[in-house]
Homo-oligomer: A and B are copies of this chain.
Amino acid sequence: MNFSVTILGSGSALPTAHRFPSSQLVSIHGGHYLVDCGEGAQMQLCRYGLPILKINNLFISHLHADHVLGIFGLISTMSMLGRKAPLHIYAPKGMQQMLDSHLRYFGEGLIYSIVVHELSCERKEVILENRQLTVAAFPLYHRVPTCGFLFCEKVPPRNIRKEAIEKYRLHFSAIVAIKNGGDLALPDGEVVPNAQLTYLPYSPRSYAYCADTVACREVAQEVQGVNMLYHEATFADDMRNFAVERGHATALQAAQLAKDANVQKLIIGHFSSRYKNVEVLVSEARRVFENTFPAEDGKVFLPESS
C-alpha cells in the first residue's frame, strides 16, 4: 500500500456526529502529505494511528475555516512532539499573515520553522518535486482563491527480470548497466534491448484533489486521466443552482466531470450536513460514473492500477 489516501474529514463546513471538516492524508512511498486541515485533523491522525511527525508538507486548498482551522493545533502538537524538521505549508495568498497572527498568541516555544509557500491559484504550477512524485497546484473555482492538487508518481526505475539474469548468466556489472537503461550485447554480436530484460514494477499513478469548486471544463482538463479523483459533491443535483451560487458542485456534476476527464475512480466528499445518509449522492453519481465511492472519515482509498 505505497499509494493511499486516508480520509480524515469528509464533511463540509458544519461538522456532524460522523464527519469532521475537510482533511486527508496522502501517503506515497513513505512520504505523508496532508491535504487541507479542518478542525480536529490532528485528532483524526491520532485516532487512525497515522504518523503526525512524518508530515512535512501540508497543502491548503483555500482559506475557509473548515479547511484550515486544524493547522494551529497541529503546529503546537508537532512542537510538543519534538519536531525539528521544517514544515512546509502550500496555501493561497493570506496564509502567511494568518499564521503570523496566530503565532503571536500561540507561537511561544515553537522549536521548528514553518515555511509558507503562497500559491497564485491562477495557473497550474508544480509546487513540490522529489524522487517519487511531483505535486502540482491548479486553479479551482470557488468563492475565494482556491487550488486543486495533483499528485503524480514518477516513472519508477525498471526492475530486471529474474529469467534474464538466469538465461544470460548476468554478472553484477552487467545487471547494474541494464538497470541503468543499457541494452545487453551478447558475445555473438546480438543485442538484447533493455525493454526485454526489464519491466516497470508499477505504472505511475496519479491522484487529484478538488475541493471546494464548481465542476467545470477547466477542472476536467486538469485532472484528465488520473487514476483517482476526489471531487467535492456538497449537494444533490436538485440543488444545482444553489450549489453554483455557493461555488460548489453536485454529485451528478462531479460524476459527469469524472466521466469527461476519463478518470478511473471517483471519491466524492465534502457532503452538506443536510444529508444524514449520502446514499442519494452516491446513487446520483453512479448513474453517470459507476466507479464512485463516498468519502467516510477513516476510510482508506487506493488508486486503480492502470
| Chain A residues close to B by CB (< 8 Å) | 13-17, 20-21, 39-40, 42-43, 46-47, 49, 63, 65-66, 69-70, 72-73, 76-77, 80-81, 94, 98, 101, 104-106
Q: Is the CB of A76 within 8 A of B15?
A: no
Q: Is the CB of A17 within 8 A of B39?
A: no
Q: Which residues of B contact A104 (CB under 8 A)?
A: 101
Q: Which 6 pairs show the lowest CB-CB distances between chains A and B?
A: A40-B40, A39-B73, A17-B46, A65-B106, A15-B43, A17-B47
Contacts A39-B40, A70-B39 given: A46-B16 contact, CB under 8 Å? yes
Q: Which residues of B contact A21 (CB under 8 A)?
A: 73
Q: Is the CB of B80 within 8 A of A49?
A: no
Q: Which residues of B contact A40 (CB under 8 A)?
A: 39-40, 43
Query: Closest residue to A106 on the B side, CB-wise?
Result: B65
Q: Which residues of B contact A15 (CB under 8 A)?
A: 42-43, 46, 73, 77
Q: Is the CB of B13 within 8 A of A63?
A: no
Of B13, B43, B47, B72, the residue contacting A65 (CB under 8 A) is B72
Q: Is the CB of B49 within 8 A of A43?
A: no
Q: In the bound complex, how far is the Cα of B156 from the Cα of A80, in angstroms? A: 47
Q: Which residues of B contact A70 (CB under 8 A)?
A: 39
- Which one of A21, A40, A49 has the greatest number of beta carbons of chain B within 10 Å? A40
Q: In the bound complex, how far is the Cα of B19 from the Cα of A46, in angstroms? A: 10
Q: In the bound complex, how far is the Cα of B47 from the Cα of A101, in angstroms? A: 31
Of B20, B65, B77, B94, the residue contacting A14 (CB under 8 A) is B77
Query: Closest residue to A69 on the B side, CB-wise?
Result: B73
Of B47, B77, B105, the residue contacting A98 (CB under 8 A) is B105
Q: Which residues of B contact A17 (CB under 8 A)?
A: 46-47, 49
Query: Closest residue to A47 on the B side, CB-wise?
Result: B17
Distance to closest chain B CB from A58 (angstroms): 16
Q: In the bound complex, how far is the Cα of B106 from the Cα of A98, in angstroms? A: 10
Distance to closest chain B CB from A72 (angstroms): 6
Q: In the bound complex, how far is the Cα of B107 from the Cα of A63, in angstroms? A: 12
Q: In the bound complex, how far is the Cα of B73 from the Cα of A98, in angstroms? A: 15
Distance to closest chain B CB from A37 (angstroms): 11
Distance to closest chain B CB from A137 (angstroms): 21
